[in-house]
Amino acid sequence: MVKICCIGAGYVGGPTMAVIAFKCPSVEVAVVDISVPRITAWNSDKLPIYEPGLDEVVKKCRGKNLFFSNEIEKHVAAADIVFVSVNTPTKTSGLGAGKAADLTYWESAARMIADVSKSSKIVVEKSTVPVKTAEAIEKILTHNSKGIEFHVLSNPEFLAEGTAITDLFNPDRVLIGGREENAGGLKAIQTLKDIYVQWVPQERIICTNLWSAELSKLAANAFLAQRISSVNSISALCEATGANVTQVSSAVGKDLRIGSKFLNASVGFGGSCFQKDILNLVYICECNGLPEVANYWKQVIKINDYQKNRFVNRLVSSMFNTISGKKIGILGFSFKKDTGDTRETPAIDVCKGLLNDKAQLVIYDPQVPEAQIFKDLSTPKFDWDQLGSTIQITEDAVAQSVKVVHNAYEATKDAHAICILTEWDEFKSLDYQKIYNNMPKPAYMFDGRNVVDVAKLRQIGFIVYSIGKPLDPWLKDMPAIA
Ligand code: UDX
Ligand code: ADP
């Protein structure tokens, strides 16, 4: 029986290992983490992350060939293959602050593997890491190896949150990077391939050298984020000229060379990967003497920041330039639907912008816990481009001006305006007439996800702003936004 150990039981490690255990009954998988509450939750009925389909997969395998444990060293020592799926946040101080990845967790995991190993191991990079991390890891492992052989592979994960299980069941591709130039490296690649081939068609398993695999992950995320910034930049032009961004992106996406996916205009992209990976790419370019390339990719994040600011400015300017003391109902806080994850969610910046203008916020999200929302809004955000323009809100101000409630009707009752910041399905079918009746007039709707039926809401009486859609006559007369 092949033994796998995965260090890091997060959004990537947890679902990926659950699916490997599910698809490969002859493989024993242990997922380990330093966090005791996380592992306790993985072993309970309430898993630490919300992901459609995950509960069923975990329930089928847990206790059979899937184990969650805090006994990190024991499971690492026993494993043939060690996946490393720890977090790699952006550095917030020192050299490369704001751009480079902080590899502290990675390095400590690598040193621990070298320390406890008594047999040869394949060590697999699963977290997205800067190009050439594998080389650094190899150095740590071989210099501390006590004669044991380690083979390092890069096997970046392309799952998206909210669809993780279907993505893992049916991946577009599985990428395995390794030392193709030597027999040990080739054997390690084959060993990992033998796992995936149990459910992934051969032709979708791509083997490359280490650096290509690492760079492909950064490049894929950068290309995806770039599409969103592209359509979001067009959304601003649509609003200025009366075109409809949904019609434009549908027409553009019909070109098979462009494709129709990932062209939805929004209040901005979020999630743990896009901004972090692009900043990483920017840093690598700068370090390699490529400032033009670095600046090209920076622009993708700048447009994302611009889109969030634009949304806040539009709201304030539409409401007579003052939202001080006005109640605003916020629908959705997670960075996309079907996840409770709030990392880099545009809702944080939008809510901070509204709080900065002294609004009172009542927030509802079907999955994000109240404590997380308070934490996100009061945690100082790192200013990635160091322009000093990042808004910081104190814990006291958040406590005084934010309320978290348990349904959309409560959030919107007596609200002067509603902001939709996540495209949860339930927001499509709310009783907007009832909501309208419970709001002071004029009642505003600011849809940052193009969820609502604009014509229907206007008929009810709402003043509606929907990203990239022709403006409400009311909004057209308002002062121009920055
Ligand atoms: C992303 C990549 O898709 C995945 O391959 C990688 O492994 C991790 O990063 P994830 O961040 O989970 O996955 O979600 P994704 O579906 O890519 O969405 C990211 C953000 O872009 C979300 O905030 C989403 O709402 C936004 N988005 C997406 C848009 O605004 N418009 C779109 O058309 C698509
Ligand atoms: P991702 O989205 O990349 O999966 P997460 O933050 O969700 O990131 O998960 C990373 C996990 O890695 C966390 O649960 C964290 O506790 C764990 N972790 C970080 N460093 C170590 C370490 N040295 N040993 C074990 N677990 C670690």
Q: Which atom of ligand 1 is nearest to the CA of 274?
A: 9
Given a cut of 80, is residue 382 above it in pLDDT?
no
Mean pLDDT lowest among 4-13, 134-143, 436-445: 134-143
With a 6 Å cutoff on the Cβ, whether 211 touches ligand 1 is no
Q: How many angstroms separate the alpha carbon of residue 363 from the centre of ligand 2?
A: 28
Q: How many angstroms separate the alpha carbon of residue 233 from the centre of ligand 1?
A: 17
Q: How many angstroms separate the alpha carbon of residue 105 from the centre of ligand 2?
A: 8
Residues 261 and 347 in one domain: yes
pLDDT tens digit sequence for 171-206: 999 999 999 999 999 999 999 999 999 999 999 999
Distance between CA atoms of residues 202 and 193, nearest Å: 9
The pLDDT of 97-101, averaged and rounded, is 82
Residues 46 and 186 in one domain: yes
With a 6 Å cutoff on the Cβ, whether 35 touches ligand 2 is yes
Residue 220 lies inside a defined structural domain of this protein: no
388 is in an annotated binding site: no
Residue 481 lies inside a defined structural domain of this protein: no
With a 6 Å cutoff on the Cβ, whether 75 touches ligand 2 is no
Q: Which of 143, 176, 200 is the last residue of a domain?
A: 200
Q: By the 8 A CB rule, do 403 and 320 touch?
A: no
Q: 13 in helix, strand or coil?
A: helix
The token pair that represents 303 in the structure block: 């447009």
Judged by its nearest atom, the ligand closest to the C-alpha of residue 167 is: 1
With a 6 Å cutoff on the Cβ, whether 42 touches ligand 2 is no
The token pair that represents 193 in the structure block: 């391939």
Q: Which atom of ligand 1 is nearest to the CA of 158?
A: 7
With a 6 Å cutoff on the Cβ, whether 15 touches ligand 2 is no
Residues 331 and 422 in one domain: yes
pLDDT tens digit sequence for 426-443: 999 999 999 999 999 999
98 is in an annotated binding site: no
Q: Residue 236's closest CA among 456, 452, 471?
A: 471
Residue 223 lies inside a defined structural domain of this protein: no
Residues 245 and 195 in one domain: no
Q: How many domains does the chain contain in total? A: 2
Residues of the chain with pLDDT > 90, as a percent, come to 85
Give the model's confidence band at 153: pLDDT under 50 very low, under 70 low, under 90 confident, else very high: very high
Q: Which of 167, 200, 233 is the last residue of a domain?
A: 200
pLDDT tens digit sequence for 155-171: 999 999 999 999 999 99
Residues 7 and 122 in one domain: yes
Residues of the chain with pLDDT > 70, as a percent, come to 98
Residues 446 and 354 in one domain: yes
Task: Give the burial string for 413-425 (b: 16+ CB within 10 Å, else e).
Answer: bebbbbbbbbbbe
Residue 219 lies inside a defined structural domain of this protein: no
The DSSP code sequence of 89-123 is PBP-SSTTTTTSB--HHHHHHHHHHHHH--S-EEE
Residues 367 and 416 in one domain: yes
Q: How many angstroms separate the alpha carbon of residue 88 from the centre of ligand 2?
A: 8
The DSSP code sequence of 348-391 is HHHHHHHHHTT-EEEEE-SSS-HHHHHHHHHSPPP-TT-SS---
Give phi and psi for 280, each to the nearest 5: -60, -45
Task: Please choose from 16, 126, 228, 350 the residue to mutate so as to test ligand 1's pocket, defined by most ligand atoms within 8 A of CB.
Answer: 228
With a 6 Å cutoff on the Cβ, whether 70 touches ligand 2 is no
pLDDT tens digit sequence for 215-257: 999 999 999 999 999 999 999 999 999 999 999 999 999 999 9
- Separation in Å, CA 59 to CA 44, 67, 229: 10, 11, 39
Judged by its nearest atom, the ligand closest to the C-alpha of residue 16 is: 2
Distance between CA atoms of residues 402 and 327, nearest Å: 10
300 is in an annotated binding site: no
Residue 270 confidence (pLDDT): 98
**pTM confidence score:** 0.95
343 is in an annotated binding site: yes
Residue 208 lies inside a defined structural domain of this protein: no
- What's 160's domain CATH number? 3.40.50.720
Residues 35 and 149 in one domain: yes
Residues 457 and 342 in one domain: yes
Judged by its nearest atom, the ligand closest to the C-alpha of residue 31 is: 2
Residue 43: domain span: 2-200
Distance between CA atoms of residues 201 and 172, nearest Å: 10
389 is in an annotated binding site: no
Give the model's confidence band at 142: pLDDT under 50 very low, under 70 low, under 90 confident, else very high: confident
pLDDT tens digit sequence for 277-291: 999 999 999 999 999
Q: How many angstroms separate the alpha carbon of residue 217 from the centre of ligand 2?
A: 19
Task: Please choose from 84, 87, 343 the residue to mutate so as to test ligand 2's pocket, defined by most ligand atoms within 8 A of CB.
Answer: 87
Q: Residue 41's closest CA among 85, 1, 82, 10?
A: 10
302 is in an annotated binding site: no
Q: How many angstroms separate the alpha carbon of residue 310 from the centre of ligand 1?
A: 20
The pLDDT of 406-432, averaged and rounded, is 98
Given a cut of 60, is residue 481 above it in pLDDT?
no
Distance between CA atoms of residues 8 and 127, nearest Å: 9
Ligand 2 atom 7: residue of nearest CA: 10
Q: How many angstroms separate the alpha carbon of residue 336 from the centre of ligand 1?
A: 8
Q: By the 8 A CB rule, do 165 and 151 touch?
A: no
Task: Give the burial string for 144-153 (b: 16+ CB within 10 Å, else e).
Answer: ebeeeebbbb
Catalytic machinery residues: 273
With a 6 Å cutoff on the Cβ, whether 11 touches ligand 2 is yes
Given a cut of 80, is residue 389 above it in pLDDT?
no
Mean pLDDT lowest among 14-23, 90-99, 453-462: 90-99
With a 6 Å cutoff on the Cβ, whether 340 touches ligand 2 is no
Residues 182 and 325 in one domain: no
Whole-number average pLDDT of the chain: 94
451 is in an annotated binding site: no
* Crossing angle of helices 13-23 and 54-61, rounded to 10°: 60
Distance between CA atoms of residues 59 and 407, nearest Å: 29
Judged by its nearest atom, the ligand closest to the C-alpha of residue 225 is: 1
Residues 258 and 150 in one domain: no
Q: Residue 282's closest CA among 230, 236, 231, 225?
A: 225
